[in-house]
Structure 1
Amino acid sequence: MQQNQDLDPKASAPAQEQGAQHAAGAAAAAAAGSASTSGAGVGVGAGGKPIDSLPLKVTLKIFGRMLKSYWCSKDSLKSWFLLLAIIALTGGSVYIATSINTWYKTFWDVIQQYDLDGFKQQIVVFIILASIHVLVSVYNAYLKSCLAINWRTWLTGKTMDRWLQSDNYYKLQLLDKNTDNPDQRIAEDLNLFVSATIVLILGTATDIAMLFTFGVVLWNLSSAVTITVWGYQVSLPDGYMCYLALLYAILGTALTFYLGRPLVRLNFRQQRYEADFRFSLIRVRENGESIALYKGDKEEGKYLRHSFADLVANYIKLIVCTKRLGFLTLGYAQTAVIFPILISAPLYFAKIITMGSIMQINSAFGRVQDSLSTLVSNFNSWASWKSVVDRLSLFYMSLEEVERIACLKTPQDRSALEVEKLELKSPRGQLLLEDLNLSLKQGQSLLIRGPSGCGKSTLIKAIAGIWPYADGEVHYIHDSQALFLSQKPYLPQGTLRLAASYPSAPETEGQTEHYFKLLGLEHLIPHLDEVDIWSHILSLGEQQRVAVVRALINKPQILFLDEASSAMDELTEKKAYELLRQELPDTIIISVGHRSTLLQQHELVLTYLSKNGDYKLQSTAEAQQALV
């Protein structure tokens, strides 16, 4: 708050420490929701509406768990040494600050006495103190940065592992529509949480140390005295300047809390709007071809402008609130510059204290007032920090909720793939399939058919063990590996060779080139080791053929194909299935498709008869006869 003229260990810290406070204010969290875990889902308040923050008790509870998870683990040993070093350097900063405060009195008394030799001597003392202060401050900030990256690395790794394990990333997307942008929470919010926590907590600890140290100094400088003010005798008690500093800080804190409360809610919303707008832009980029073919640029523009308008509207409220708070905090700071001089001036003019004493009082009062006013000076940062913790809290609460929702387990304990009494439902509870019993031996194949939206893809997701709305039992073959090929194949970042063997390591023995030739992809062989965005370069039919190569290289015991040949012509589709059967004779193949030509590539056919759970399981010959 008060801009003291002496060296402030907080004010002169390198930019990365100040940047962390600014980042916490500029990019706070914006999670939608409350702690509710009712049927509405995590992040939804009364009436299904997202609220803007969690109760402080919930925030502090989850914050405590986040602290404990790292600082009580064996991985935090190095960080404990860093923390102890930071505490030692902070103690050094406080000692240097008190030395500079004492130097103030001596320096100004020398000037008042016109003592040139004393002046030169004090300049040398200042250079020594300033040099030590710079060294301590730089290393203090450096060690804080080292501590932050250690903590962030551990926290990011643990959070990513938890997000990725047990298909939580998929279940979170499927079950919890209110957890926006989990990627941003891991990449950005964890960084903000760590940096802001270190800066604010260690900064508060420094303020407490400064308060006790300079409180003693200020108390000793404000002994009981009686002075005459405008003809009136005024008796001042011991420590009166400490009392005035406390009263001044309480007044400023109360006004700041009253004017700044909306900042928590507005910061909370702002990042959500920022993330939603950014996601909308990414969505246009990723679907550029389809939008161009539909000539949908005007509609996309309307949606983007609407999304940006929400962002701007909230930002205007945010800056208006910040403006009001700015009048208070800046006015508070400017008043604090002159306030200690005003209360010590009568003592000076009464010739009770010297000019050096006034400057020492000014410095000590500023330190005490700064420490007592930490909430005033850091209110924006604390408000933003709470938003970050709330946003992460909602994310972790959502993870806990989806972790409690179990998909069908697929134990590998049978000699065949067996499905027993399987019941399948949609996320809204609609019955899709009832009492399915199925047994597929090695080398057998099954085609799943039916009208659109009846639950064909959902069935193979349940058998694959990733659909949470299913009951029954699924048993895999001993030591079996399953592979899932979707209609729109996933092509990871990297080379085309990597995409063709994913999730295994790139194949280097010539199988990739061999299968590319058999599937009509020989024109891509020269580009196998090039890194590119292959999902944007290859046509959907080419991507599906690359996915077939992936199955041939990985050689799974169970292969799911969810309309994985829909973009191929019938001749290429036939060649692909024949190649799969030739190269993978013992693999169980389960396909979803609409084409009648797929019948001849499978032994069994499961046909959905309605959207009420009825089905028919028959041989291919029976299914073909029914078509005739």
Structure 2
Amino acid sequence: MFKTLLFKRTAQKELHAGQSADRKPSDSLPLKVSLASFWRMLKPYWTSKDSMISWFLLIVIIALTAGSIWIATSINTWYKTFWDTIQNYDVAAFKHQILVFALLASIHVVVTVYKAFLQSRLAINWRRWLTGKVMNEWLEKSTYYKLQLTDKNTDNPDQRIADDLSLFVNATIVLFLGTTTDLAMMVTFAVVLWDLSGSVDLTLWNGYVLHLPDGYLLYLALIYSVAGTLITFILGKPLVKLNFRQQRYEADFRFSLIRVRENAESIALYKGEEIENLTLRDRFFNVVKNYISLINCQKRLGFLTLGYAQLAVIFPILIAAPLYFAKIITMGSIMQINSAFGQVQSALSTLVANFSDWASWKAVIDRLALFFDGMERADNCKCIAAQKEGEVFKAEDLEVKTQSGEVLGQDISFCLNLGDSMLIRGPSGCGKSTLIRTIAGIWPFAAGSITEPKEGEVLFLSQKPYLPQGTLREAAGYPKAPESKGLTEEYFKALHLDHLIPLLDKEDIWSHILSLGEQQRVAFVRALLLKPKLLFLDEATSALDENSENIAYSLIKEELKNSIIVSVGHRSSLIAKHDFALSCVGGKWEFSRMEIIS
């Protein structure tokens, strides 16, 4: 739905070569590409059934906007009447106009508050739907994993989902509704300005007569606004690039901080504080350096926008003053002209006033577009999909490559029946774990066919088990619901994890608390609870002593008698626990019974 290919020719070459993207990261995308990407992001929600409530909210917001425009025109008319009343020293009329203003101001407050409230409701509805859909696309088909392999330029996908989607929704609503309001204000008050500026001849110095045509106030407002917009665009153009870079640098710095927290123990053991500090400072230096460039650009733009706004306060009075002194218009007319000119000038100068916001908005669009482009590339890198049939696990003519295209293994074939077990062996770096990823269907740089048992589930236990946030009982049963019949306690006891049984229902960050050996035994509990038909153990006992390893494998053999077990490991103690071996010898993969190898 949101995945889109921005660089089709490059992508086709990458897919044909089976390699990841290697293009240089861009500071921003061409405006044409950004606008096309924006439409792709905008359309799905607003054409879905889920947007019905948001359409209603949008209609109400537009109605309130129309009401605010009516109030603005009413206040503009009130200005003339009020100041004419003061000029005429009419106390009774003055009191009446105060009451009129109080009524108009009260309506204005109610309309403004409800408009802001409904815009926020609209934003959260849209963001909730959009975030849900994007997360689904990011997670499905292991896109989140393949994205790391196929597109190195898509940095910090977590920030794209958590921050950029929110910024996209809120900025789109605020900027586009604001622009629509400005355009409506411009049309409404352009008519007012036209009516207030009929043709007139003014006698200036030395008898010179200046002829002002119909609508001259409107023409002056147009000239003033267009000139300001052009200058702002020239001075503010670098903001787009700087905002794009700032978001990227901020995300990189935050990611580095998270990495330190996640690997705190390893860094402490290595005494790596100094190098981590240098890395963090380097990342933060990019943040500061770009931010200084950003605020310098904003400073230059600020001189223009603030000076432009201040001049707009006095400019309409200056051009109306000759008419007042010529006794053509009243004081009230000057105030009405000042108000109407301000509304038209403000509406026409929306780019001047909001250029920084538009620049940030485009940067968000570009980041999201590159993210969706990266997801499309990852999705187009197809992995081997295992066929579900029969009661065997077999691979035929597998060819496994690295990301760079180096062949790790070819013509790999084997066949295992229910109850069989196989040990994958070979020297470090020969591709054992990559072969497991290929079999798991998450490695896109491979070819061949894989068949799995039709019934039952598949479970992979890695060297570093994944323990989700939550209770230890939930972690043991992941990704299924936690078991509550006592089996969890039984398996914890069997694997000598008795000390953790009282903590089973305590929420904590268990991946930081438990040792690697404890985590691996919790993973074995997971396998015992889920009872998969096909179980992969990738160095799953590397942190266990031989006795603990023997207990873990004995439990698996006893509890999963009709399951197929595939292990990856170096220990010779694993040989006796498996029936077959898939060994890498001299760069070639050989499948045989374990007796032959041993």
TM range (shorter): over 0.9
Contact 1:163 1:169 in 2 (8 A): yes
Q: Normalising to structure 1: TM-score of the pair? A: 0.92
Task: Report deviation, 1:176.
Answer: 1.4
Question: Aligned partner of 1:330: which letter?
Answer: L
Task: Kindly indicate whether residue 581 of structure 2 is the aligned counterpart of residue 609 of structure 1.
Answer: no
Task: Kindly indicate whether residue 187 of structure 2 is the aligned counterpart of residue 212 of structure 1.
Answer: yes
Question: Aligned partner of 2:107: which letter?
Answer: I
Task: Report deviation, 1:414.
Answer: 2.5
Contact 1:34 1:54 in 2 (8 A): no
Query: 1:546-571: CA deviations, max 9, x gaps?
Result: 00000000000000000000000001
Task: Give the match for residue 38 of structure 1.
Answer: 10
Deviates more, 1:455-464 or 1:567-576: 455-464
Structural mapping, 1:44-123, within 5 Å: 48-123=23-98
Question: Aligned partner of 1:279: which letter?
Answer: F
Task: Kindly indicate whether residue 170 of structure 2 is the aligned counterpart of residue 198 of structure 1.
Answer: no
Task: Kindly indicate whether residue 200 of structure 2 is the aligned counterpart of residue 225 of structure 1.
Answer: yes
Task: Kindly indicate whether residue 220 of structure 2 is the aligned counterpart of residue 244 of structure 1.
Answer: yes
Task: Report deviation, 1:34.
Answer: 7.6
Task: Kindly indicate whether residue 455 of structure 2 is the aligned counterpart of residue 479 of structure 1.
Answer: yes
Q: How many angstroms apart in 1 are the aligned matches of 2:224 and 2:30?
A: 29
Task: Report deviation, 1:471.
Answer: 0.5
Q: Secondary structure at the match of 1:378?
A: helix
Task: Report deviation, 1:415.
Answer: 2.2
Q: How many angstroms apart in 1 are the aligned matches of 2:189 and 2:226?
A: 18
Contact 2:413 2:591 in 1 (8 A): no
Shift in alpha-carbon separation, 1:116–1:41, aligned structure 2, 3 A = farther
Task: Give the match for residue 5 of structure 1.
Answer: none
Question: Aligned partner of 2:210: which letter?
Answer: V
Task: Give the match for residue 121 of structure 2.
Answer: 146
Question: Aligned partner of 1:620: which letter?
Answer: M
Query: 1:422-450: CA deviations, max 9, x gaps?
Result: 11111111111111111100010000111
Structure 2 counterpart of 1:448, from 424, 429, 442: 424
Task: Give the match for residue 622 of structure 1.
Answer: 596
Task: Report deviation, 1:37.
Answer: 6.2
- The gaps in structure 1 that reach 5 residues or longer are 1-32
Task: Report deviation, 1:464.
Answer: 1.5
Question: Aligned partner of 2:408: which letter?
Answer: L
Shift in alpha-carbon separation, 1:524–1:293, aligned structure 2, 3 A = same
Contact 1:245 1:365 in 2 (8 A): yes
Q: How many angstroms apart in 2 are the aligned matches of 1:401 and 1:434?
A: 25
Task: Report deviation, 1:616.
Answer: 2.1
Q: Secondary structure at the match of 1:227?
A: strand
Question: Aligned partner of 2:52: which letter?
Answer: L
Task: Kindly indicate whether residue 572 of structure 2 is the aligned counterpart of residue 596 of structure 1.
Answer: yes
Structural mapping, 1:119-518, within 5 Å: 119-231=94-206, 232-518=208-494
Contact 2:22 2:151 in 1 (8 A): no
Contact 2:424 2:581 in 1 (8 A): yes
Q: How many angstroms apart in 1 are the aligned matches of 2:321 and 2:154?
A: 59
Q: Secondary structure at the match of 1:508?
A: coil
Q: Normalising to structure 2: TM-score of the pair? A: 0.97
Task: Kindly indicate whether residue 535 of structure 2 is the aligned counterpart of residue 549 of structure 1.
Answer: no
Query: 1:376-418: CA deviations, max 9, x gaps?
Result: 1110011110011111111111111111111101121122011
Query: 1:30-71: CA deviations, max 9, x gaps?
Result: xxx9847626979xxx99431111111111111111111111
Q: Secondary structure at the match of 2:10?
A: coil
Contact 2:150 2:374 in 1 (8 A): no
Give the RMSD, CA atoms, in angstroms: 1.5
Contact 1:446 1:602 in 2 (8 A): yes
Q: How many angstroms apart in 1 are the aligned matches of 2:434 and 2:421?
A: 18
Contact 1:34 1:50 in 2 (8 A): no
Q: How many angstroms apart in 1 are the aligned matches of 2:591 and 2:369?
A: 47
Q: How many angstroms apart in 2 are the aligned matches of 1:47 and 1:609?
A: 33
Query: 1:108-145: CA deviations, max 9, x gaps?
Result: 00001111111100000000000001001111111111
- Count of paired positions: 588
Q: How many angstroms apart in 1 are the aligned matches of 2:341 and 2:481?
A: 66
Q: Secondary structure at the match of 1:401?
A: helix
Shift in alpha-carbon separation, 1:47–1:258, aligned structure 2, 3 A = farther
Question: Aligned partner of 1:488: which letter?
Answer: K
Contact 2:168 2:361 in 1 (8 A): yes
Task: Report deviation, 1:480.
Answer: 2.6
Contact 1:219 1:240 in 2 (8 A): yes
Task: Give the match for residue 535 of structure 1.
Answer: 511
Q: Secondary structure at the match of 1:218?
A: helix
Query: 1:156-193: CA deviations, max 9, x gaps?
Result: 01000000101111111222111111111011100000
Query: 1:552-606: CA deviations, max 9, x gaps?
Result: 0000000000000000000100110010000000110100000000001101111
Task: Give the match for residue 18 of structure 2.
Answer: none
Q: How many angstroms apart in 1 are the aligned matches of 2:209 and 2:234?
A: 37
Contact 2:531 2:560 in 1 (8 A): yes
Question: Aligned partner of 2:248: which letter?
Answer: R
- The gaps in structure 2 that reach 5 residues or longer are 16-20
Q: Secondary structure at the match of 2:581?
A: strand
Structure 2 counterpart of 1:520, from 452, 473, 496: 496
Question: Aligned partner of 1:237: which letter?
Answer: P
Contact 1:222 1:241 in 2 (8 A): yes
Shift in alpha-carbon separation, 1:36–1:271, aligned structure 2, 3 A = farther
Q: How many angstroms apart in 1 are the aligned matches of 2:47 and 2:263?
A: 46
Report percent identity of matched pairs: 63
Query: 1:61-82: CA deviations, max 9, x gaps?
Result: 1111111111111111111111
Q: How many angstroms apart in 2 are the aligned matches of 1:51 and 1:118?
A: 64
Q: How many angstroms apart in 1 are the aligned matches of 2:481 and 2:589?
A: 40
Contact 1:552 1:584 in 2 (8 A): yes
Contact 2:6 2:373 in 1 (8 A): no
Q: How many angstroms apart in 2 are the aligned matches of 1:465 and 1:620?
A: 26
Contact 1:163 1:399 in 2 (8 A): yes
Task: Give the match for residue 24 of structure 1.
Answer: none
Q: How many angstroms apart in 2 are the aligned matches of 1:199 and 1:577?
A: 60
Question: Aligned partner of 2:371: which letter?
Answer: F
Q: How many angstroms apart in 2 are the aligned matches of 1:134 and 1:587?
A: 70
Contact 1:214 1:368 in 2 (8 A): yes
Q: How many angstroms apart in 1 are the aligned matches of 2:7 and 2:100?
A: 57
Contact 1:416 1:441 in 2 (8 A): yes
Q: How many angstroms apart in 2 are the aligned matches of 1:47 and 1:194?
A: 30
Q: Secondary structure at the match of 1:414?
A: coil
Task: Report deviation, 1:285.
Answer: 1.0
Task: Report deviation, 1:609.
Answer: 1.5
